[in-house]
Chains A and B, each alone.
Chain A
Amino acid sequence: MLEVFFESKRGFSVRSFGTGTHVKLPGPAPDKPNVYDFKTTYDQMYNDLLRKDKELYTQNGILHMLDRNKRIKPRPERFQNCKDIFDLILTCEERVYDQVVEDLNSREQETCQPVHVINVDIQDNHEEATLGAFLICELCQCIQHTEDMENEIDELLQEFEEKSGRTFLHTVCFY
């Protein structure tokens, strides 16, 4: 969701990842998700769900989401398997935040280059995702406009917290 938003509108260089062991999409009941491993392409997922219950997955917007996703990249990526360096990592759920931080800390330090990890709790439904996306976008813009991110990010986050009424988690890890 964020990827689409950013790439299309604001010109940030963004990539998105999952952190679990599998990709989980909602199924017919909360305890029956559709599970795929990270090698499955969005296209394959799309066709699978289409076959299973076209009406359900159209109605809850999952097919639309997959369709959109496939235009950005062929398959989901797993964060832990990615060796790239980032300046800022944003997560939308505390659990994911924990996984990211744990993964980064378990890697051996090489360059000591810092990366900031920020978590904003966003509920996993379409409405919240939209609102959250706007918030994150705004945050990123502000960060981009700082002259010295490392120095100013702390204060910036405090301001954002007050303005939006949400709490963020923030830490720094080193590559």
Chain B
Amino acid sequence: RAASQWMVKSKVISELQEACWEMVSAMASDIILLLDSDNDGIRTHAIKFVEGLIITLSPRMPDSDVPKRHENDISLERIPKDHPYIKYSESRARGWGGFASPRRPLRAPPVPADVLWEEGKAALEQLLKFMVHPAISSINLTAALGSLATIARQRPMFMAEVIQAYETLHANLPPTLAKSQVSSVRKNLKLHLLSVLRHPSSGDFQPQITTLLVDLGTQQAEIARSMPNPRDVRKRPRDEPDAALKKMKIGEPGAAWRAAASLPSSREPLGRGGWEDTSLVASRCPPGDIRDRGWQDGPCWALPSGSLGSLRCPPEDTGDKGWQNGPSWGVRLPGAVWALGGGAAGRGPPLRRAHGCRRAPQARVKILASLVTQFEVPLKSEVLAFVLDDIRGRLDLAFAWLFQEYNAYLSRYPSGSLDHYDECLIGLLSGLQEKPDQKDGIFTKVVLEAPLITESALEVIRKYCEDESRTYLGMSTLRDLIFKRPSRQFQYLHVLLDLSSHEKDKVRQQALLFIKRMYEKDQLREYVEKFALNYLQLLVHPNPPSVLFGADKDTEVAAPWTEETIKQCLYLYLALLPHNHKLIHELASVYTEAIADIKRTVLRVIEQPIRGMGMNSPELLLLVENCPKGAETLVTRCLHSLTDKVPPSPELVKRVRDLYHKRLPDVRFLIPVLNGLEKKEVIQALPKLIKLNPIVVKEVFNRLLGTQHGEGTSAVSPLNPGELLIALHNIDSSKCDMKSIIKATNLCFAERNVYTSEVLAVVMQQLMEQSPLPMLLMRTVIQSLTMYPRLGGFVMNILSRLIMKQV
């Protein structure tokens, strides 16, 4: 560089200069040879040298990117064509091997300057050849990548070769590189590609560069940021004239281009949002680009596919005046898409093309979304259909549209309406609902990512839950909503709670499962409980209130309670009861006020939950203790449920006993806890017990005799069978009529496996010793004999003894 500079400055070349030039040239060729050196470091330096050489030995162009420091440096265009020594004359092509050196003696023929140009180009060749060496080191490669980028920026005429080299490299990284070296090199490549992209003259190669960048994992936003400013765009001149374009009649001819050329800086938002990150570069597209023949006649207005994808439009179709008058970009583009929709047979193809493949560039999606938002229903329903057609692949578009609608609403807040947003959301959700089974949770995704859930959207979600095949999915979505959107969680919770009394079993059960989990969360607990209790409270009404019937049901308010409707009020409550025993008291108070039908149903359904609560539940014990007036049957039923299979706990017995003695001397209370009572208590209660309904008496005896389940004495009874029979005999006739006693004894006799001959013998023995003799003794004797003839001897014995006693 220095040498060339020196040479140029002097008009007359001295011998010294010649010599210097010679030496420098020789040095240069030596250094280039060093590209082959064994030493990695030397190779790296050689690369940098070659870079400098190439830049010096090539002319600057108007679009060259020249670093400020080097403004005054020499480069080929500054070597005057008529320099005495260095000449731009006809090339005497020299083979590679060095610079041409003049022959001695003095005033040898001058060096043709465009040989220098050739040398420059050849140096580049050498560099490129070096780069594809299969065993190039990672540092050399990195250095070379950087050099290429510098060369491309400073000498854009080499842009094509540089990009080609990058592409080749990207596709064929040397196998000798280690994994981490590959990462380092790739990072480097990305960096340099971005810097090249920034250069205005990279326009022609933007597609390749962008492809490479995307391959290297670059984000679209980053790529967009590195696009050159449209004002600086100077495309390399094309060969074919755009004849088709010249026929353009978009209002003022050429206005679109002019407008585009004077685009505001890419960072200003245009129209309603969404344009911030995209820089728009308008360029002409040669007729060869038009893929769809149908459009060919119209002027084509294409945006380079690298940035935005192509939207084509025949303006003839458009009636939108905006074409003619609007100066702004924002107005033109909608016109384009309108026409896109306009008369064309189906918007599907253009939409698809506009949306592109599955991974459509963000920019395209953004634009589509913004456009759709600005338009009326027909386009929207098309887009909706389009999106639903392949929801998985077009989900990004769906979301972009949804967010855009929301943005639109927000930007008009507070005067705007949510209607469009609402329609969009419902459209999406309903559409998803109608599709057959989806396993990938897209419905959930849409719900959870939508900025706002409107009333109608919530309705759709509810319907989704009511669909038996999707109940779980729908409800788990609801659950997520409840937890993730606390501001409206009660609204969502309400829907779930409503579903807990749904007529479809599956829906109801699923809802209850979910609600149980909610119940465990502190902040939701109260609400759920209140809801449950509210429903429970409905049971105090003599007729079911209208709230029980959905708005779509046409039932008269005065209809009576049915099993169904009663249960509806109870489902949720019963589900919660095991988790919070305190709730039992609420039931008791409702029970007392409810009509008989309801009471019956309650008694039926309460059994399981009570058993679930268990005898040791303090609340249950409290209930028994307090036994609210009017709830006696309830308490009794509770007691029965609890003691049906297991003996009563002392705690329970105690309370019942207290209850019986202090407040409610209804002997029926004692029945469930009979086996927990003491002997004398039972005997005391016997007269009353046997006066009860025969079925009940049977049950009593079953309990006492342990014959409840036909197994014999498995339970502990305060009385053994003998004692029982004896007690029966001893009942005072004033307390109980004979008939009942006889019936009772018959019950005993019926249990042959309990009342064996031994037992009866003992009984008779004991009775006989009593004085006065019990009334029923003879009868019993006769009965026993009838049952066990073998007792004959024994009986004889007894009878004789009796005779002696003078009965």
The A123-175 residues at the B interface (CB cut-off 8 A) are 148-154, 157-158, 161, 167-174
Contact A170 B139 (CB under 8 A): yes
- Does A112 interact with chain B (Cβ within 8 Å)? yes
Using A105-B195, A151-B41 as known contacts, say yes or no to A170 and B180 having CB atoms under 8 A apart.
yes
- Does A48 interact with chain B (Cβ within 8 Å)? no
Contacts of B195 in A (CB 8 A): 105
- Does A45 interact with chain B (Cβ within 8 Å)? no
- Does B298 interact with chain A (Cβ within 8 Å)? no
Name the CB-closest residue of B to A162. Answer: B178
Contact A154 B179 (CB under 8 A): no
Using A108-B68, A154-B137 as known contacts, say yes or no to A167 and B40 having CB atoms under 8 A apart.
no
- Does B414 interact with chain A (Cβ within 8 Å)? no
Contact A108 B67 (CB under 8 A): yes
> Given the complex of chains A and B, what is the CA–CA distance between A150 and B45 in angstroms?
10
> Given the complex of chains A and B, what is the CA–CA distance between A167 and B187 in angstroms?
14
The A54-79 residues at the B interface (CB cut-off 8 A) are none
State which of B10-18, B142-150, B282-290 sits at the interface with chain A.
B142-150
- Does B52 interact with chain A (Cβ within 8 Å)? yes
Contacts of A116 in B (CB 8 A): 139
Contacts of A92 in B (CB 8 A): none
> Given the complex of chains A and B, what is the CA–CA distance between A165 and B52 in angstroms?
39
Using A102-B191, A109-B150, A150-B39 as known contacts, say yes or no to A168 and B68 having CB atoms under 8 A apart.
no
- Does A2 interact with chain B (Cβ within 8 Å)? no
Residues 22-46 of chain A: 1 if any B CB is under 8 Å from the residue's CB, otherwise 0? 0000000000000000000000000
Contacts of B179 in A (CB 8 A): 167
Tell me the smallest distance from the CB of A77 to a CB of chain B, in Å.
24
> Given the complex of chains A and B, what is the CA–CA distance between A112 and B31 in angstroms?
15
Tell me the smallest distance from the CB of A174 to a CB of chain B, in Å.
6
Using A108-B68, A154-B137, A161-B180 as known contacts, say yes or no to A171 and B48 having CB atoms under 8 A apart.
no
Contacts of A171 in B (CB 8 A): 139, 142, 184-185, 187-188
Residues 51-74 of chain B: 1 if any A CB is under 8 Å from the residue's CB, otherwise 0? 010000000000000011110000
In this complex, which of A102, A112, A157 has the most chain B Cβ atoms within 10 angstroms of its Cβ?
A: A112
- Does B181 interact with chain A (Cβ within 8 Å)? yes
Q: Which of A148, A158, A173 is the one whose CB lies under 8 Å from B178?
A: A158
Q: Which of B48, B68, B69, B191 is the one whose CB lies under 8 Å from A112?
A: B48
- Does A98 interact with chain B (Cβ within 8 Å)? yes
Q: Which of B69, B178, B180, B192 is the one whose CB lies under 8 Å from A108?
A: B69
Contacts of B643 in A (CB 8 A): none
Contact B188 A101 (CB under 8 A): yes
Contact B68 A105 (CB under 8 A): no
Contact B188 A154 (CB under 8 A): no
Contact A105 B191 (CB under 8 A): yes
> Given the complex of chains A and B, what is the CA–CA distance between A138 and B136 in angstroms?
27
The B353-403 residues at the A interface (CB cut-off 8 A) are none
Contacts of B143 in A (CB 8 A): 114, 172, 174
- Does A110 interact with chain B (Cβ within 8 Å)? yes
> Given the complex of chains A and B, what is the CA–CA distance between A153 and B187 in angstroms?
19
Contact A169 B183 (CB under 8 A): yes
> Given the complex of chains A and B, what is the CA–CA distance between A148 and B187 in angstroms?
26
The B172-190 residues at the A interface (CB cut-off 8 A) are 178-181, 183-185, 187-188
> Given the complex of chains A and B, what is the CA–CA distance between A148 and B67 in angstroms?
32
Contact A172 B180 (CB under 8 A): no
The B126-173 residues at the A interface (CB cut-off 8 A) are 137-139, 142-143, 146, 150
Name the CB-closest residue of B to A118. Answer: B184
Contact B180 A110 (CB under 8 A): no
Contact B184 A170 (CB under 8 A): yes
Contact A110 B39 (CB under 8 A): no
- Does B44 interact with chain A (Cβ within 8 Å)? yes
Contact B41 A149 (CB under 8 A): yes
Contact A168 B180 (CB under 8 A): yes
Contacts of A158 in B (CB 8 A): 178
Tell me the smallest distance from the CB of A113 to a CB of chain B, in Å.
9
Tell me the smallest distance from the CB of B84 to a CB of chain A, in Å.
31
Tell me the smallest distance from the CB of A12 to a CB of chain B, in Å.
20
Using A108-B68, A154-B137, A158-B178 as known contacts, say yes or no to A169 and B39 having CB atoms under 8 A apart.
no
Name the CB-closest residue of B to A97. Answer: B187
Tell me the smallest distance from the CB of A150 to a CB of chain B, in Å.
2
Contacts of A167 in B (CB 8 A): 179-180, 183
Contact B139 A173 (CB under 8 A): no
Contact A169 B142 (CB under 8 A): no
Name the CB-closest residue of B to A148. Answer: B41
Using A150-B44, A170-B138 as known contacts, say yes or no to A101 and B187 having CB atoms under 8 A apart.
yes
Using A105-B146, A172-B143 as known contacts, say yes or no to A110 and B69 having CB atoms under 8 A apart.
yes
Contact A154 B187 (CB under 8 A): no
Contacts of A112 in B (CB 8 A): 45, 48, 52
Tell me the smallest distance from the CB of B505 to a CB of chain A, in Å.
46
Tell me the smallest distance from the CB of B23 to a CB of chain A, in Å.
21
Tell me the smallest distance from the CB of A14 to a CB of chain B, in Å.
22
Tell me the smallest distance from the CB of B681 to a CB of chain A, in Å.
67
Name the CB-closest residue of B to A169. Answer: B184
Using A98-B187, A154-B138 as known contacts, say yes or no to A170 and B40 having CB atoms under 8 A apart.
no
Contacts of A151 in B (CB 8 A): 39-42
> Given the complex of chains A and B, what is the CA–CA distance between A114 and B603 in angstroms?
91
> Given the complex of chains A and B, what is the CA–CA distance between A116 and B138 in angstroms?
12
The B15-47 residues at the A interface (CB cut-off 8 A) are 39-42, 44-45
* Additional pairs, 6, CB under 8 Å, beyond known A101-B187, A150-B45: A112-B48, A151-B40, A170-B138, A170-B184, A171-B188, A172-B142
Ranked 4 nearest A-B pairs via Cβ: A150-B41, A167-B180, A108-B67, A151-B40
Pick 15 A–B contacts, CB within 8 A, sort by A: A98-B187, A101-B187, A105-B195, A109-B67, A114-B44, A116-B139, A150-B39, A150-B45, A151-B40, A153-B139, A154-B40, A157-B180, A171-B184, A171-B188, A174-B143
B interface vs A, CB < 8 Å?
Answer: 39-42, 44-45, 48, 52, 67-70, 137-139, 142-143, 146, 150, 178-181, 183-185, 187-188, 191-192, 195
